[in-house]
Amino acid sequence: MELERANLLQIYRFMRLTRAMEDRIRTLFLQGRIVGGVYTAQGHEATTVGAAMTLHDGDCIVPQHRDLGMHIVRRVSPRSIMCQWLARGNSPTLGRDGQMHIGDMHQGIVPMISMLGESLPVACGVALTMKMRKRSTIVLASCGDGATNTGSFHEALNFAAVQKLPLVFVIENNGYAYSTPTSKQFAIQNLSDRALAYGMPGRSVDGNDIFAVMEAVEQAVDHARSGQGPALVECKTFRVRGHSEADKADYVPEDVRAEWLKKDPIQRFENYLFQEDILTEAARGEIDAQIKATVDDAVHFAEQSPAPDETTVAQYVFAPDGPIAIVGEPGAENAQHINAYDSRTGQPFHIVYKAEEAAGRR
């Protein structure tokens, strides 16, 4: 994969910003300023950023809770992310949720489902829609090694293969699911072998090597975009911290942790950039300052943002009484109606697809 200097530095910034954001989120949690669970992905940066970098602007992702790097690549604002974690009224969930259970349909980000693995059938639905509309859109869905043991994972792979969906599955295998080592989860060495049972290509790569991740996922994306159906990529990586900040991860042997820390994805990539004279000490200093300023600004903005508005508590919980407008495809009829029912009254209402709005956003 040939990448220009500017692209390589952009990838480096994305990886560094992802870790810096999570470091600050963890600090805010320890200070008691974030409540609930905090789930970080230190060690996953090459997988999350690398996978997202292979997609086109119009493609879709269905991320999991450790995929902050994917959100950053897809241009989700650090301010928005920090407002989400601090449960502010202007956050994507209007303060209802303080974790990465968010999406942005205008950016092609489908919100995750907390029950890990359950997002994959949803990804199939999105991919099927794109295929039926004859779009060239690719859907990339991620999950962890533990989620591959759920029925939804296997049902999604089977359905995607039978329907030849434009879908790429990325498994972030960090070795422990919550706390169970992979040796006690399954008897195979590579989770990519599971792809073969469903008639799709599968490949396992070093998830801490940004180039290996991007090359493998790019090939899978090209395969899916060409109409050949889904593909699966297993990225073998390591979760440096516990499942959450409440988890000390003392089930990980110290020698295993030490070996993985030597393969830190950001340090490996940084070493490469220095060796190739792409990154200099001065440039790294500038990037350090830029990232600190970005994170500081995001925290300040979130802290100055309003608390959740109690009058909005029922918003997005019930379907509306009247027509709701949903963006449709360019070229679709402006008055395409589909019958639906109000969840409170049982009375029918109409969903109206507004093709001209979709055209205006492109």
Full set of structural domains in the chain with CATH: 5-309 (3.40.50.970), 318-361 (no CATH)
pLDDT tops 60 at residue 155: yes
Q: Which token pair is 282?
A: 């001065």
Give the containing element (helix H, strand E) for 325.
strand 324-327
- Tell me what the pLDDT averaged over the chain comes to: 89
What interhelical angle do 119-132 and 151-163 show, nearest 10? 10
pLDDT tens digits for range 74-118: 999 999 999 999 999 999 988 988 889 898 888 899 998 888 899
User: Taking Cα atoms as reference points, which of 265, 246, 112 lies closest to residue 179?
Assistant: 246
Q: By C-alpha distance, which of 224, 230, 221 is closest to 153?
A: 230
- According to DSSP, the residues that pair with 202 across neighbouring strands are 232
User: What is each CA distance from 333 to 173, 356, 362, in whole angstroms?
Assistant: 44, 9, 17
What is the predicted pLDDT for the residue at 323? 58
> 154 — phi, psi (to 5°)?
-70, -40
pLDDT of the residue at 341: 40
Q: Each residue of 251-282: pLDDT tens digit? A: 999 999 999 999 999 999 999 999 999 999 99
User: Following DSSP, what letter does each residue of 273-305 receive, concatenated?
Assistant: HHHTTSS-HHHHHHHHHHHHHHHHHHHHHHHHS
Instruction: Answer whether residue 342 shows pLDDT above 70.
Output: no
> Closest Cα to residue 325, out of 303, 298, 290, 355?
355
- pLDDT for the residue numbered 1: 60
| Residue in this structure with the two tokens 């390591």, named with its chain if needed | 238
The two three-digit tokens of residue 234, written as one number: 């297993």
Percentage of residues of the chain with pLDDT beyond 70? 87
Residue 91 C-beta-side C-alpha neighbours within 13 Å? 27
Residues 6+ positions from 357 with CB-CB distance below 8 Å: 325, 327, 328
Does the structure show a pLDDT above 50 at 339?
no
pLDDT above 50: residue 343:
no
Q: How many helices and strands (H and E) does the chain possess?
A: 12, 8
Lowest mean pLDDT among 111-115, 215-219, 264-268, 321-325: 321-325
Q: Confidence class of residue 358 from pLDDT cuts 50, 70 and 90?
A: very low
Rounded (10°) CA dihedral 243, 248, 254, 259 = 40
The number of beta carbons lying within 10 Å of the beta carbon of residue 319 is 15
CA distance 48 to 119: 17
Q: Highest mean pLDDT: which of 5-9, 15-19, 242-246, 346-350?
A: 15-19
- pLDDT-based confidence at 332, cuts 50/70/90? very low
